[in-house]
Amino acid sequence: MNKPLPELLLQRAQAIPGTVYLVGAGPGDPQLLTVRAARLIGEADVIVYDYLVASSILDLANPAAECIFAGKRKGDHALPQGELNLLLVTLARQQKRVVRLKGGDPYIFGRGGEEVETLFEHGIPFEVVPGITAAAGVACYAGIPLTHRDYAQACVFVTGHLKDGTINLDWPGLARRGQTVVIYMGSTGLSVLCQNLIAHGLPADWPAAIVQQGTTPNQRTVTGTLFSLPRLAQQAQLTPPTLIIVGEVVKLHDRLAWFKEG
């Protein structure tokens, strides 16, 4: 016999002292948290959270929990990554229930893999709780399907800001028809991104969009082409975080947008 839903939701709910939970907070809207994520946030002794985690999500924490900000913006890291990794080890060794709360999904441009490697090397038990990554959540709220039988049979996620500060991507692989390209952390280099995609084969009038603070009340979507989008984005004075979507699926935005922006 199938178990009733409430009983299923209660399974594996309790956080274990001395364990680090890497929890995906989703793209911004607190209602997009998983049930597992919400429960762990409420049970944590310590929450180490990122810049992209909404304050309304932190409101779910136990009032007695310690909340440590470890956010990162370009050129401004509250904690260097190496120190952050060791902080998680130290907290776990104090037999605390530690939630490492990360925007989106921990394993998609969230440096979750680096943090888990350190935990493994120091013998710290851990669990990874997936979250809705920005590409999926933001594109959905912007009315842009990432795949579509008529326009895109593949989808590629890339970051517009590499570890060494360059934008050295696989341009021939990205400048292909029949796919959607989603670019995280690319607003600063938007002009360079668009220029390179055109230079490697996509037409200047290829559809492209940039979405500000997707899934939140501050969401704004600007659509255009590879040629026009840098100018349009500058005119719109968008505020990070932003997500760039390139591909023919962007043409569906006007018809499929359901989320009331602003």
> For this structure, is 74 an active site residue?
no
Question: Residue by residue, what is the 3-state secondary structure of the chain?
Answer: CCCCHHHHHHCCCCCCCCCEEEEECECCCHHHCCHHHHHHHHHCCEEEECCCCCHHHHCCCCCCCEEEECCEECCEECCCHHHHHHHHHHHHHCCCCEEEEECECCCCCCCHHHHHHHHHHCCCCEEEECCCCHHHHHHHHCCCCCCECCCECEEEEEECCCCCCCCCCCHHHHCCCCEEEEEECCCCCHHHHHHHHHHCCCCCCCEEEEEECCCCCCCEEEEEECCCHHHHHHHHCCCCCEEEEECHHHHHHHHHCCCCCC
Tell me how far the alpha carbon of residue 120 is from its chain's centroid: 24
Check 29, 50, 102, 105 and give the catalytic one.
50
d(CA 124, CA 88): 9
Catalytic residue (choose from 3, 29, 59, 72): 72
Cβ atoms 194, 225 nearer than 8 A: no
Mark whether 3 is an active-site residue. Answer: no
Closest of 90, 44, 49 to residue 68, by C-alpha? 49
Tell me which residues are annotated as active site.
50, 72
